[in-house]
Structure 1
Amino acid sequence: MGVSRALLDVAPLRTSADFRRLWIGGLLSGLGGQMALVAVLYQVWESTRSTIWTGAAGLAQALPIIVLGLFAGALVDRVDRRRFYLATKAGQAVCAVLLTVQAFTGGSAPLVLALVAAQSLFVAGGGPASRTFLSRLLPAEQLGAGLALNRIAFQAAMLVGPALGGMVIGWAGAGGCFLIHTVTFGVALWTAIRLPPMPAASAPGRTGVLAGLRFLGANRPVRGALLTDLAATVLAMPISLFPAVNAERFGDDPRTLGLFLTAIAVGGVLASALSGTFTRSPRPGAMMVAGSLTWGVALALFGLVASPWAGLALLAVAGAADTVAVVARSTVVQRNTPDAFLGRAAAAEQIVGQAGPDVGNMRGGLVAAGSSATIALVSGGLLCVAAVAAIAARTPELRRPDIR
């Protein structure tokens, strides 16, 4: 494979003006969202000085997506997806305006969390709607490249957004972050308005949540993709273990702790930059399985190494493997889901992506509390490898080329 074919494929940005505008809007709103997240944590902490309240901020963001995601996905499959997406973006923008106003007028922690939860209600619908757009805006051969471009936009926002948020808070307070957050939603709204109509394709009697669940249970490639992601995150998510690992083996140096998270992000960005190596593969299911297995092996080895540099290298490998697995999983879901069910499949993907890491971090913390962080990491990585291998063995469709 030539160097150019190994690099991130930007053909979707060149060939589709609608995708290009949508990508720019997503990048900017993602950046504003990360800045707003820092502002939420800062304002809640400053007003309460309680880790319970800062933890509740994450819960306020996650619960609406987990509880209402499938219902929102069913609605996405019934209506014009562009109009629905516009409505959800408008709702998020209103919440962003209210967050800005309360920050400049001294709002309370309960009010902040209420607005975060309200905004997350709109995310529960807007997320699945936006995931259905690629198959309408891009030809099938560019689908993987479009997903990789979305992934690198997400990673860029994760890397840059928190740092920018901290700088803006130091200059203009939390209200400054929320104001930028509002402006970025305005850009996202403009990009969505320019999209073509996207009417629903569902047949009568097939638009409900139960019909969606039956589809997810019966479609073996999609089911295998979602189960693989759950196995990787629920069994091997390492984030909650980083402080304990740092204390046990690396001298409890806060600089090392910060580098753990950075290493995963750097690995993910590098994988996205070289995503041509896997987005052009005719076997996205096999790429997903390979990425998930590598994730588990890298984290198990991270639980054993004594050198901080070796540990950081393994976390970078894990981050790269995660990006491969996530992009390939979305490709499998998109290629194997009829348009009539795409909203519900996208909602299931969003729920898995939201709930899996949270449950995995809880699992790791509970195991470490009864043993050690090392045992939690190594056992989680090995269980991930075993579970992913079992899912792949029972789902031969994932190993076949050009699964659709």
Structure 2
Amino acid sequence: MSEAPTADDTPISQAPPPMHLVRGAIRETGTSIATVFGNPGLRRVNLAFLGSLIGTWAYATAITVWAFDFGGATAVGVWVVVRWVLMSVASPFTATLADRLPRRMVMIGSDLSSLILILVTGALIWQGAPALSVFVVATVTSLTGSPFRPAQAALIPQVAQTPGELTATNGVASTFESVAIFVGPALGAFLLAFTSVPVVALVDAVSFAWSITFVLRIRMPHRPKATGGPGEPGVMDTGGDDADDASGPGFRAEVSAGFRAIWSLRDVRIVIIIYCLQTVVAGASAVYVVVMASQFLSSGANGVGLIDSVSGIGAIVGGFLAIMLAPRGRLAGDFGIGVILWGLPLVMIAIWPSMWPMFAAMLVMGGANPVVDVNATTILQRLVPDAVLGRVFGAMESLLIATMAVGGLIMPVLIHVVGLRWGITVIAALVTVGTLPLLPALKRIDGAMREPAGLAVLRRVPLFAPLDPKKLERIASLLERQELPAGVAVIREGDPAGPYYVIESGRVEATYQGRQLSVEGADEGFGEIALIRDVPRTATVTTTEPTILLALQPSDFVEAITGNDEVGSRFDALISKRIPTI
């Protein structure tokens, strides 16, 4: 008598070959990209983002090289720190615009300001103006560009239709950012090799004009706003003691709302703390990359663009990796691993300080960067209320820039005191040791963010179609699953109003005084009339076969449909269809 085969007895030939896994991952990535580009709004947001970033990176490369030629690593470090400190202070103020003005207009204004100031920078350098004036204009350019990212990140959830589409578009945006990290520095380095900074400025102006063109073409879906403060999609609820006044009047309250939301939401706070560890390394890289270029490359400091381009190649691969990893439902866990991979590769450079280990380390770090950015952005978009989302991104940007400034400030000191090798070792230890203890918390966040079981069903119910994805997900988390056999009266005519029901599977029959009114099947709902009209049940509903129902309590149902005109009109049409038959 033979035994049943176990999993370990499965022939190797039956296991999925590695190429099948690769093809499956590529197919998953292609589906995500097709989903994003099938949505005109998301397509245009991403193409605008690409143009804006290419210009930003090419400009940063040109100014960094110009600053190094002017005053060496010290000039670069001082300018980077001053610029980041000012951006850190300005970001909460500029990000307030993303919650108070149309986000498209904020993006256009940011791009247009950058375009003009970059041309001014090029003109100053071309005319041989004092270096201080160039540094000032370059810094102001960074400040005027700061509202773009918070506005863009807060705009995406308004255009995306589902959590999966939200994650996919963040992945595509990160891939585009990776392309920009490669193309921008490479373009800047190429142009500098044959021309000058003013020429780079002209090319940058074209890239920002590209971005403006696509932002102008974005058409926002119509979703009526719930009651909230002026210009807000709804009342902010961060789950903390101060949540009730975060969107209240007063300039200070407006600016600080993002920071208070971060402090109130524990999971968001943990993610941003870890993110800040990564940006300490990113800030330090503005200095150690220039030093490594001067020590390891024959081209000297001008090789900064080459190093950044290698990071960009890794980031392009990492962007696809972020899209492929997203369906696993481990956004927070993968985020933590990505941050750790910003530290460990630096140890390789410390052990073997030469060109090829440097390129290998920058390739790995570049690949980890999209996973960090995509996952952090998606986590915030999932957890933060829309009413304060722009300001949370602005507050986060402020904290990230501040920690980048810390990295840029301590790196020259470390190089001076202990040298490049030990300096980057200290930075690597900081991010790795700081992240490891928080990995269990990230695992818990992943559990909290998993899609509720009934969300897929709820999306197919026509009554709820107008609701934004974040609200729909919250409603799905409140559903109570009930498995019933055939012949059970779920509601009875004349009984007090109770839950609203959605049919996950099976079939029910609605009767009035013994007369059949209708037969309902999967993805249909019933029980709404008594709830909205505040009357007893108007019919008896009985299961005609084994049925699975998802119950939504009365108060949750009323809250879900209140304040949305399109849901209200659909409800009126549903009642007019059912009432005449009674």
The 5 Å alignment of 1:1-400 reads 1=21, 2-5=24-27, 7=29, 9-41=32-64, 48=70, 53-59=75-81, 61-139=83-161, 140-169=163-192, 173-196=196-219, 200-201=232-233, 203=235, 205-207=245-247, 208-234=254-280, 239=285, 240-241=287-288, 252-255=295-298, 258=303, 261-305=308-352, 309=356, 312-394=359-441, 397-400=444-447
Change (3 A) 1:34 1:375: closer
Q: Distance in 1 between matches of 2:367 and 2:61?
A: 25
- Spell out, residue by residue over 1:38-70, the C-alpha distance to the aligned partner (whole angstroms, 9 max, x if none): 443465667x56665555543464333211111
Q: Distance in 1 between matches of 2:95 and 2:196?
A: 36
Q: Which amino acid aligns with 2:313?
A: V
Q: Distance in 2 between matches of 1:66 and 1:354?
A: 5
Change (3 A) 1:279 1:57: same
Gap runs ≥5 in structure 1: none
- Spell out, residue by residue over 1:220-252, the C-alpha distance to the aligned partner (whole angstroms, 9 max, x if none): 2211111111123326876344577789xxxx4
- Residues 279 and 401 in structure 2, CA contact (< 8 A), matched pair in contact too: no
Q: Distance in 1 between matches of 2:354 and 2:142?
A: 40
Counterpart secondary structure, 1:99: helix
Q: Distance in 2 between matches of 1:35 and 1:373?
A: 26
Gap runs ≥5 in structure 2: 1-20, 222-230, 237-244, 248-253, 451-469, 471-582
- Spell out, residue by residue over 1:355-376, the C-alpha distance to the aligned partner (whole angstroms, 9 max, x if none): 3334224334434444344433
Q: Distance in 1 between matches of 2:361 and 2:64?
A: 30
The Cα of 1:20 is off from its aligned counterpart by: 1.7
**234-243 or 28-37, which deviates more:** 234-243
- Residues 167 and 374 in structure 2, CA contact (< 8 A), matched pair in contact too: yes
The Cα of 1:342 is off from its aligned counterpart by: 0.7
Change (3 A) 1:305 1:344: same
Q: Distance in 1 between matches of 2:114 and 2:98?
A: 17
Counterpart secondary structure, 1:159: helix
The Cα of 1:27 is off from its aligned counterpart by: 1.6
The TM-score normalised by the length of structure 1 is 0.84
Task: Return the structure number with greater relative CO, CA threshold 8 A, min gap 6.
Answer: 1
Q: Which amino acid aligns with 2:152?
A: S
Q: Which amino acid aligns with 2:413?
A: L
Q: Which amino acid aligns with 1:349?
A: M
- Spell out, residue by residue over 1:309-352, the C-alpha distance to the aligned partner (whole angstroms, 9 max, x if none): 45543443333223222221111111111101111121133234
The Cα of 1:135 is off from its aligned counterpart by: 0.7
- Residues 92 and 119 in structure 1, CA contact (< 8 A), matched pair in contact too: yes
Q: Distance in 2 between matches of 1:367 and 1:330?
A: 31
- Residues 269 and 320 in structure 1, CA contact (< 8 A), matched pair in contact too: yes
Q: Distance in 2 between matches of 1:364 and 1:398?
A: 33
Looking at secondary structure, tell me which structure has more helix per residue. 1
Greater gyration radius: 2
Question: RMSD of the TM alignment (CA)?
Answer: 3.3
The Cα of 1:132 is off from its aligned counterpart by: 0.9
- Spell out, residue by residue over 1:167-188, the C-alpha distance to the aligned partner (whole angstroms, 9 max, x if none): 4345553322222222222222
Q: Distance in 2 between matches of 1:176 and 1:133?
A: 33
The Cα of 1:101 is off from its aligned counterpart by: 4.1
Change (3 A) 1:196 1:377: same
Q: Which amino acid aligns with 1:180?
A: V
Q: Distance in 2 between matches of 1:236 and 1:59?
A: 12
Looking at secondary structure, tell me which structure has more strand per residue. 2
**253-262 or 77-86, which deviates more:** 253-262
Q: Distance in 1 between matches of 2:193 and 2:220?
A: 42
The TM-score normalised by the length of structure 2 is 0.61
Q: Distance in 2 between matches of 1:42 and 1:307?
A: 21
Q: Distance in 1 between matches of 2:35 and 2:119?
A: 32
Q: How many residues align?
A: 399
Change (3 A) 1:16 1:60: farther
Change (3 A) 1:100 1:274: same
- Residues 52 and 207 in structure 2, CA contact (< 8 A), matched pair in contact too: yes
